[in-house]
Amino acid sequence: MGPCAGGARAGHPAEIGHGLATACGLTATAVLGARRADNAGTRGKGSHRRSTRRHDGEVRPWKRRLSDDECSVLLAELLLRHPELAAEVEEITSTLLVAENEQEFGDEITAKLRALRANGPVSVDAGRGRVMDVLQPYLDDLTRRKERGARRAAADIAIAVLLGLYGCREDTKADMLLVRMGLPGAADDLARMVYKKVKPLQLSLPSLADECPEWEWYEES
């Protein structure tokens, strides 16, 4: 599997709703618009109508975003009333909220990096360019997920990329690109580049003291 891949388990609509609504940052307008609510508002004694619809049928935006709990309730209710949407919700969950196990994902990236070959001397810039061609789709994917609110999945992908590079540090095959570039230094330098790209996203990155003991420069956040 590559970027955007992942597995999702079936869950209760409230559980799915909470995660998906949080990730997508659904507003009250979006959810209520999807529900096509017929009950547009309520009228209290001596009060003005508080409606989510104008007289011409246009939905009026609410002035605030919903909390995570409110998103969960509304999306769960949407799924209960429209169960035909469950498959689509599961698909969105698997491609947005859930990333593969970081170690398995890292092993996949390590394999792709090991597949890069060089038959002669390689300049540092040219070698980095080829490696980044492999890594950039993963960085683009984690950035997309973070922008949509799926911060945990984004962090998982970032860690997988770092683990993928760490897994190549001790390789010795003479025709491997990273070996030609000089290991372990080449892998370490590329990991620092990735870390610098990810750091501004302010993801919650765990400690890698056990997985990557040689990287004293890495800091969890």
User: For the residues 82-108, what does the mean pLDDT come to?
Assistant: 78
Segment 132-179, tens digit of pLDDT = 999 999 999 999 989 888 888 899 999 999 999 999 999 999 999 999
Higher per-residue confidence, 139 vs 66: 139
DSSP secondary structure, 76-136, as one string: HHHHHH-GGGHHHHHHHIIIII----HHHHHHHHHHHHHT-B-SS---HHHHHHHHHHHHH
User: For the residues 184-190, what does the mean pLDDT come to?
Assistant: 97
Q: Do residues 22 and 149 touch, judged by C-beta distance below 8 A?
A: yes
Which residue reads 């769960």 in tokens?
76
Say how many CA atoms lie within 13 Å of 95 toward its Cβ. 8
State the pLDDT confidence band at 2, using cuts at 50, 70 and 90.
Answer: low
| Greatest mean pLDDT range, 4-8, 47-51, 100-104, 108-112 | 108-112
User: What's the pLDDT at 97?
Assistant: 67
User: What's the pLDDT at 63?
Assistant: 57
Mean pLDDT for the chain overall: 78
